[in-house]
């Protein structure tokens, strides 16, 4: 049911207070309410987008070029699901197990802990179940399956159900500003509306689900106001923040037979096997090949003839046989979780008096070498198997740094309140409970220990369902 923010003070004790209405928040709230729990579901913004609300997400970037923060996540009902592209994929098993030579990449849980929520998550996101990976013989690579949500906009899809559910109090214009704590547990969530009026929400347990930047920002601000009594070990708070850097790495011509075996709707998704990752001391990555028009293929061949004559000769032979498929070749890699990539609070305040975000973010050598190893590895395989030829960009073949003109990021915010059983390395434990607080939990991609290459939304919903089951088991 809808509840006005002004009614929060008199609303009594809730079983759960869920803060945030994106995929993590709505999934968690609906699952708990279905079990008969009384849930307060709070949205800092309005039911619809407003520039005034979105202004709270303005921030500063320090480091590599990045997207304006106010455009990467959304502050209204449904959260950032309102502009996601619908790409769905699970994390790989190796993403949870950690990568050889790369510290702090191992989760305290395994893929098998999320697998029980595969079917339910697919239903929520309205996608079919994934097809099994198809190994490419003698290559160390595999063709992998992505599915695509319509995409589901959580506020739009679940708005009527949330407003009709007697177990849910859905409140707009209810921004979290602080937590009260007795040292061991949260005793109240402090809320402020857009007019500056303040209220309190009392619940047995609290779930912070405001996204891969705001979860860190809000906990940092709560800590600043409480002498570090919310997250008592602050060593990793806001740190180990990650993205999915993506770059064009070349152009490809494939035989029609090979293209038909790996492409779906004009795109091929290829990733390395766990064995290849370990043997090559690489991070996980996604190689994706997107088909070009016939005119684009002819132009590509002409462009590379002078610099790659072997590629050109092979290409013309295939064109003459009408056995070709031209593609743009791109690669996206996971980012090594590092302390230096972090969220901090600015001296600049938003209109509510909360410090804005500073994001410190740079790509590193580990990601650069993973780009190169994966692109070269697939190129070598295609040539040896005679299923295609790859013209790699000069930066892939060189020993230099990143190509400035091609920098690209998808806006996938991960880490900052990462999961670890060690409070020195993480903010939450394996059940997403904040270390040192009996009743405060975090949901969403901010708890990711490492990022893999998969778009995070599918895993966000899986984790939210797992968290909901854990919370129901406690009450």
Closest CA to 429 of 461, 382, 437, 327: 437
pLDDT attached to residue 426: 98
Whether residue 367 lies inside any domain: the answer is no
Closest CA to 376 of 394, 364, 363: 394
Whether residue 33 lies inside any domain: the answer is yes
Whether residue 433 lies inside any domain: the answer is yes
Ranges 6-15, 185-194, 260-269, 308-317: which has the least confidence: 308-317
Whether residue 162 lies inside any domain: the answer is yes
Model confidence at 29, pLDDT cuts 50, 70, 90, reads very high
How many structural domains comprise the chain?
1
Whether residue 388 lies inside any domain: the answer is no
Whether residue 467 lies inside any domain: the answer is yes
Query: How does pLDDT run across 132-163, given as a tens digit for each residue?
Result: 999 999 999 999 999 999 999 999 999 999 99
pLDDT attached to residue 321: 53
DSSP-assigned letters across all residues of 129-167: PPPPPEEETTTTEEE---EE-S---HHHHHHHHHHH-TT
Provide the β-strand partners of residue 148. Answer: 87
Whether residue 174 lies inside any domain: the answer is yes
The residues, any chain, with a CB within 8 Å of residue 130's CB and separated by 6 or more, are 89, 90, 145, 146, 147
Is residue 337 within 8 Å of 450, Cβ to Cβ? yes
CATH of the domain at 123: 3.50.50.60
Backbone φ and ψ for 314, nearest 5 degrees, come out as -60, -40
| Per-state percent for the chain, helix, strand, coil, to nearest 5 | 35, 25, 40
Q: What is the mean pLDDT of residues 394-413?
A: 88
Whether residue 310 lies inside any domain: the answer is no
Q: Which two tokens stand for residue 35?
A: 């079990």
Domain interval for residue 345: 5-129+152-243+338-351+412-474
Query: How does pLDDT run across 447-460, given as a tens digit for each residue?
Result: 999 999 999 999 99
Provide the β-strand partners of residue 102. Answer: 99
Query: How does pLDDT run across 206-256, given as a tens digit for each residue?
Result: 999 999 999 999 999 999 999 999 999 999 999 999 999 999 999 888 888
Residue owning tokens 């064009």: 248
Query: How does pLDDT run across 166-176, given as a tens digit for each residue?
Result: 999 999 999 99
């Amino acid at each position: 049911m809808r509840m006005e923010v002004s009614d929060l003070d008199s609303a009594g004790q809730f079983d759960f207070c869920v803060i945030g209405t994106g995929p993590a928040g709505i999934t968690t709230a609906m699952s708990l309410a279905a079990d008969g729990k009384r849930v307060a579901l709070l949205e800092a913004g309005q039911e619809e987008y407003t520039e005034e609300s979105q202004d709270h997400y303005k921030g500063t970037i320090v480091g590599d070029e990045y997207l304006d923060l106010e455009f990467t996540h959304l502050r209204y009902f449904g959260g950032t699901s309102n502009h996601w592209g619908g790409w769905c994929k699970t994390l790989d098993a190796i993403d949870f197990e950690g990568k050889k030579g790369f510290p702090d990449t191992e989760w305290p849980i395994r893929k098998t802990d999320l697998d029980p929520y595969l079917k339910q998550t697919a239903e929520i996101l309205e996608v079919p179940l994934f097809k099994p990976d198809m190994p490419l013989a003698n290559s160390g690579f595999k063709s992998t399956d992505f599915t695509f949500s319509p995409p589901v906009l959580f506020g739009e899809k679940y708005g009527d159900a949330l407003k009709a559910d007697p177990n849910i109090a859905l409140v707009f214009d209810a921004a979290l500003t602080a937590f009260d704590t007795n040292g061991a547990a949260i005793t109240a969530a402090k809320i402020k509306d857009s007019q500056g009026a303040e209220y309190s929400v009392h619940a047995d347990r609290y779930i912070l689900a405001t996204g891969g930047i705001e979860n860190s920002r809000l906990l940092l601000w709560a800590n600043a106001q409480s002498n570090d009594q919310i997250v008592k070990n602050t060593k990793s708070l806001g740190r180990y923040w990650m993205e999915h850097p993506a770059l064009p790495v070349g152009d490809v011509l494939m035989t029609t037979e090979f293209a038909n075996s790996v492409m779906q709707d004009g795109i091929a998704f290829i990733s390395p096997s766990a064995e290849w990752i370990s043997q090559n001391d690489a991070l996980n990555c996604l190689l994706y090949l997107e088909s070009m028009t016939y005119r684009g293929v002819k132009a590509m061949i002409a462009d590379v003839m002078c610099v790659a004559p072997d590629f050109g000769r092979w290409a013309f032979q295939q064109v003459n046989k009408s056995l070709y498929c031209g593609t743009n070749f791109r690669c996206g890699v996971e980012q090594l979780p590092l302390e230096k990539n972090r969220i901090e609070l600015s001296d600049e305040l938003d209109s509510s008096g909360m410090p804005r975000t500073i994001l410190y973010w740079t790509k590193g050598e580990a990601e650069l070498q993973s780009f190169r190893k994966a692109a070269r590895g697939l190129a070598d395989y295609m040539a040896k198997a005679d299923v295609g030829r790859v013209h790699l960009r000069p930066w892939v073949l060189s020993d230099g740094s990143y190509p400035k003109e091609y920098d690209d990021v998808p806006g996938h915010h991960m880490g900052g309140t990462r999961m670890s059983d060690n409070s020195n390395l993480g903010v939450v434990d394996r059940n997403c409970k904040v270390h040192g607080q009996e009743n405060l939990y975090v949901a969403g991609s901010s708890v990711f220990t490492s990022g893999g290459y998969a778009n995070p939304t599918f895993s966000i919903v899986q984790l939210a369902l797992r968290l909901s089951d854990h919370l129901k088991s406690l009450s």
